[in-house]
Amino acid sequence: MTKAEKEKYESIDALKDLFKQLKGRKFVLDCGHHVTFGYFLSNNIVIINEKEPKIICTDCWD
């Protein structure tokens, strides 16, 4: 990876900030299960980064 390519990437803190903005929001995942961000008894999620992202819980991930 070149230096120019590396500079296109943001830090993990930027991604964590996005999740902080979701705190308290509730969603139905592609697998049909539910997630509430920032709630410790909520499902964990897996983001499958394809042409159309798929977001499922870890219980449904193969």
Q: Which of 15, 4, 47, 16 is nearest to 57 (CA)?
A: 47
Question: Do the domain assignments include residue 13?
Answer: yes
Number of domains in the chain: 1
- The pLDDT, as a whole number, for residue 8 is 93
Question: Do the domain assignments include residue 62?
Answer: no
- The pLDDT, as a whole number, for residue 41 is 82
pTM (2 decimals)? 0.78
Q: CA-CA distance, 33 to 20, in Å (whole number)?
A: 21
Question: Do the domain assignments include residue 29?
Answer: yes
- The pLDDT, as a whole number, for residue 42 is 81
Domain residues for the domain of 34 are: 3-57
Q: CA-CA distance, 4 to 53, in Å (whole number)?
A: 26
CA end-to-end span of the chain: 30
pLDDT tens, the chain, 62 aa long? 899 999 999 999 999 999 999 999 999 999 999 999 988 888 899 999 999 999 999 999 87
Question: Do the domain assignments include residue 30?
Answer: yes
Q: Quote the DSSP letter at residue 14.
A: H
- The pLDDT, as a whole number, for residue 61 is 87
